[in-house]
Structure 1
Amino acid sequence: MKKKRRTSANIVHFVKLNGRLNIEGLGKWYNYWNDPYHLLLTIPWAGFLTLICVGYLLANALFALAYVAGGDGIENARPGNFADAFFFSVQTMASIGYGAMYPKTTYAHLLVTAESLVGLFGVTMATGLMFARFARPNARVIFSQVAVIAPFEGVPTLMFRTANQRRNLILEASLRVSLARDEITAEGDFIRRIYDLTLLRSQNPSFSLSWTALHPIDDRSPLYGVTPLSLMEDETTILVTLTGLDETVGQSIYAHHTFASRDILWNMRFVDILVWKPNGDRYIDYSHFHDVKPLQ
């Protein structure tokens, strides 16, 4: 029996980058060639606009060639002249209708009918795609570059910070934190196991400024008894997902972040970003959002 050859489409590569185990090409626009809708939603704006312009010019050029092939079918246009046929095609597809040039044969009328339909569908699709790209929810949320493990209320606790970069509210904000690490089952099989990490507070009714997430490391925690070395050996990753409702646009938004084992600092504490003024007023200094300091 002939062995089936494996192609690149059947192989998914894992790449270790900056201590993180990543799926190569995950979420990149160039992976969607077999899914045109997702491709047009994820391709950079410059590429999207270029595709629209190239498609528009190409469609008009093809219809212009068809008009030229039909001979003298356009009134006031030079027979066989590609430029006249091209600009007549542009006027037809855009429904401009100056009146200087118009079809005068049945062949040209049929082409105009077909091009009108193509132009209608093209404008509809381009408008829909443009709206879909603008309407995609985009959360302006940042996460601390590191997570720390330090005592909180006498219990070792995993902590990290997140902040809303927009000056609005994220209503009913919710944090979900998971831990993924390599394990060997009792049967000797390798698996990538995921555990949920319980937070002291996973809900925030109105997330506007900053939020410190706290996971106590007690005997029920998957992090109980681990060491910095074991975290690295098990390729441990902390997965964070934040969801909520943007009050400005009324849409659900989400943000995600990962902490690799090298991003988890032991016996460190975040620098306080809440500053008190002499008159009793308070403000938040985001310039120290990612800063940490050793335990006293």
Structure 2
Amino acid sequence: MKISRKKIKKAVVRKIGSIDFKIIGIPNFHWSDFYHWLMKISWLQLWVIIISFYVLINTLFTFLYLGSNGGIANAKPGSFIDAFSFSVQTMATIGYGAMYPTNVYTHILVAIEVFIGLIGVAMITGLMFARFSLPTARVLFSKVAVICPYNGVPTLIFRIANQRHNWIVEAQIRVTVLLSQEVTSEGHSMRRFCDLKLVRSETPMLTLTWSVMHQIDENSPLYGWSEDDFQNVNNQGIQFFVTLTGLDETVSQTIHTRHVYRLNDIIWDHYFVDVMSTGIDGQNYFNYSHFHDVVPLSTRQDHHT
């Protein structure tokens, strides 16, 4: 089915891992999702919206006050600055007393603006609290994953670390691979998600590091793959989606985070540098400066020999 230029221009871009998809038939924005949209945008964008709305409302009431024909006491006739200042004082319910309404028209405007100001303060306060109290995770994922033997079986390994000085309780991790398109016997073309079985998919507490491992055995969708398959251009759409959930012990709320590995992020016949060592004082130390470092498998073999 061919797609018209008009529909292409209205397409919504959605990113899945490192691949951009253009969605047609679903609007980019819906007013019922306005709160969700405000929670999703950046802090800079939010502040721009709040300040713009504040200036716009006060400017609108300023022009309305200027049409009141002397409805503001002690304000210079036709003064935009005085009318704008009166609008700011009214919306914030400051009430300095130097300027005040003198006729029914201005009193009505003041009542309307005070009501809008109260609603605005309540909404902005609630939005700020919701954004500040939103539980987040600071989990570090290794920049690469490796494939090396583990108990004689080729194993996909990457590691994660809790960057906060607390516990993530009942942490659970899931790894799903998005395979390339396949054609069914009926001629349907589709992409498949396959869950990877992990050596350990949960831990009672995540405090330091965790090496996540998937053994590439007969039950693995990666079974039979070679290093050349990982470097094949036709397979570069394949991605590994990692999701982590757990309970933050500090705020007692569920947190989650995610990460994506592409095929070119996976290094064969390498292993991770050990980040744990013992100092001269006999204490155990974790050196996270080597968290992403890997070395060839031959290095370990030479070490053992």
Q: What TM-score, normalized by structure 2, do the two folds share?
A: 0.86
Instruction: Give, in whole Å, the separation in 2 of the partners of 1:210 and 1:163.
Output: 4
Instruction: Give, in whole Å, the separation in 2 of the partners of 1:73 and 1:150.
Output: 81
CA contact (8 A) 2:11 2:22 kept: no
Residue 134 of structure 1, CA deviation: 1.1
Instruction: Give, in whole Å, the separation in 2 of the partners of 1:149 and 1:100.
Output: 75
Unaligned runs of 5+ in 1: none
- 2:218 maps to what in 1? 219
The reply on whether 1:22 has 2:24 as its aligned counterpart is: no
Partner secondary structure for residue 188 of structure 1: coil
The reply on whether 1:123 has 2:137 as its aligned counterpart is: no
- 1:195 maps to what in 2? 194
Partner secondary structure for residue 103 of structure 1: coil
Residue 187 of structure 1, CA deviation: 2.9
Amino acid in structure 2 at the alignment position of 1:100: A
The alpha-carbon distance between structure 1 residues 44 and 105, as it changes in their structure 2 partners (threshold 3 A), is same
Instruction: Give, in whole Å, the separation in 2 of the partners of 1:282 and 1:64.
Output: 66
CA contact (8 A) 1:275 1:284 kept: yes
The reply on whether 1:8 has 2:6 as its aligned counterpart is: no
Instruction: Give, in whole Å, the separation in 1 of the partners of 2:154 and 2:57.
Output: 65
Q: After TM superposition, which residue ranges in structure 1, 4 or more long, deviate above 6 angstroms?
A: none
Residue 7 of structure 1, CA deviation: 4.1
Deviations 1:83-111 (A, max 9, x none): 21111111110011111111111111110
CA contact (8 A) 1:182 1:190 kept: no
Instruction: Give, in whole Å, the separation in 2 of the partners of 1:188 and 1:227.
Output: 28
Among 250, 253, 276, the alignment partner of 1:251 is: 253
The alpha-carbon distance between structure 1 residues 13 and 285, as it changes in their structure 2 partners (threshold 3 A), is closer
CA contact (8 A) 1:74 1:101 kept: yes
Instruction: List aligned pairs for 1:34-45, cutoff 5 A.
Output: 35-45=33-43
Instruction: Give, in whole Å, the separation in 1 of the partners of 2:14 and 2:281.
Output: 57
- 1:65 maps to what in 2? 63
Partner secondary structure for residue 248 of structure 1: coil
The reply on whether 1:87 has 2:85 as its aligned counterpart is: yes
Partner secondary structure for residue 181 of structure 2: strand
The alpha-carbon distance between structure 1 residues 145 and 54, as it changes in their structure 2 partners (threshold 3 A), is same
Deviations 1:177-217 (A, max 9, x none): 01111132233332110000011111111100000001111
The alpha-carbon distance between structure 1 residues 21 and 75, as it changes in their structure 2 partners (threshold 3 A), is closer
Amino acid in structure 2 at the alignment position of 1:290: H
Residue 129 of structure 1, CA deviation: 1.6
Residue 32 of structure 1, CA deviation: 5.4
- 1:210 maps to what in 2? 209
Instruction: Give, in whole Å, the separation in 2 of the partners of 1:13 and 1:76.
Output: 56
Q: What TM-score, normalized by structure 1, do the two folds share?
A: 0.89
Instruction: Give, in whole Å, the separation in 1 of the partners of 2:139 and 2:15.
Output: 27
Residue 168 of structure 1, CA deviation: 0.7
Deviations 1:135-177 (A, max 9, x none): 2222111111111111111111111000011111111111000
Residue 261 of structure 1, CA deviation: 0.6
Q: CA RMSD in A?
A: 2.3
Instruction: Give, in whole Å, the separation in 2 of the partners of 1:198 and 1:176.
Output: 9
Amino acid in structure 2 at the alignment position of 1:240: V
Instruction: Give, in whole Å, the separation in 1 of the partners of 2:112 and 2:66.
Output: 16
Residue 70 of structure 1, CA deviation: 1.7
Partner secondary structure for residue 173 of structure 1: strand
Residue 277 of structure 1, CA deviation: 3.2
CA contact (8 A) 2:176 2:193 kept: yes
- 1:183 maps to what in 2? 181
Residue 14 of structure 1, CA deviation: 7.0
- 1:287 maps to what in 2? 289
- 2:101 maps to what in 1? 103
Among 261, 274, 277, the alignment partner of 1:275 is: 277
Instruction: Give, in whole Å, the separation in 2 of the partners of 1:266 and 1:197.
Output: 18
Instruction: Give, in whole Å, the separation in 1 of the partners of 2:224 and 2:14.
Output: 32
Partner secondary structure for residue 102 of structure 1: coil
The alpha-carbon distance between structure 1 residues 38 and 11, as it changes in their structure 2 partners (threshold 3 A), is closer
